[in-house]
Chain A
């Protein structure tokens, strides 16, 4: 089955700096890669997603890149703000099933 690895497990950044989270996947048939943000005590919420036929996608301060050849994808958050502090999960989908990474706890220092 699909195996998704996510790094780093924790990330501390100064407010205003950038944060980068990287994920690798094992199943070359995976074709959809969402990123979820989970704030403490809340449910995961989709923040951005990318399909296998696209290499990069941006939404304001958030961007995701996908390298299908290397089977890895990354989340980039620019100009980080305190409200970006949360756990971020990457995931890969191969129809009917989402496989999640272990999560990255991001802390933005004021």
Chain B
């Protein structure tokens, strides 16, 4: 079974631009979560989607948004990029994610997209 994939793997943008990152979950997984990883802040939760619905959101500004498609693939968008947005963006998928099942489903991470903002 193919793992979680993310595209692109590397991105270089300039301040003020916007960017869209893509995540394809493991086949059959319906929950996709996004995280920002930086050396100083560790792994920070951005948002989680299940069946095209955002169920939870972390403490990030409105410039960070996402969506999920009917095939469970997900995208996240960052508008008006700032230098501080430079980070590794990881997505993770899990099998079910229902109210009773989410907490007990392993999250499988993708390789990440390394975003550099100049």
Q: How large is the interface on B (under 10, 10 to 19, 20 to 34, 35 or more residues)?
A: 20 to 34
A61 at the binding interface (Cβ < 8 Å): no
A100 B42 Cβ-Cβ under 8 A: yes
- Give B residues with C-beta under 8 Å from A: 33, 35, 41-45, 48, 50, 55-56, 58-59, 90, 97, 99, 102-104, 106-112
Q: Which residue of B lies closest to A32 (CB)?
A: B103
A46 contacts across to B, CB distance below 8 A: 106-108
User: Could you tell me which A residues sit within 8 Å of B by CB distance?
Assistant: 1, 31-32, 34, 36, 42-46, 49, 51, 89, 91, 93-103
**Can you name 21 A-B residue pairings with CB atoms under 8 Å?**
A31-B103, A34-B106, A34-B107, A36-B109, A46-B108, A49-B106, A93-B103, A95-B99, A95-B103, A96-B56, A96-B97, A96-B102, A97-B33, A97-B45, A97-B48, A97-B56, A97-B58, A100-B43, A100-B45, A102-B42, A103-B43
Q: Are A51 and B112 in contact (CB under 8 A)?
A: no
Quick one: which of A31, A43, A101 contacts B109, CB cutoff 8 A? Answer: A43
CB nearest to B49 among chain A residues: A96
Residues of A contacting B109 in the complex (Cβ-Cβ under 8 angstroms): 36, 43-45
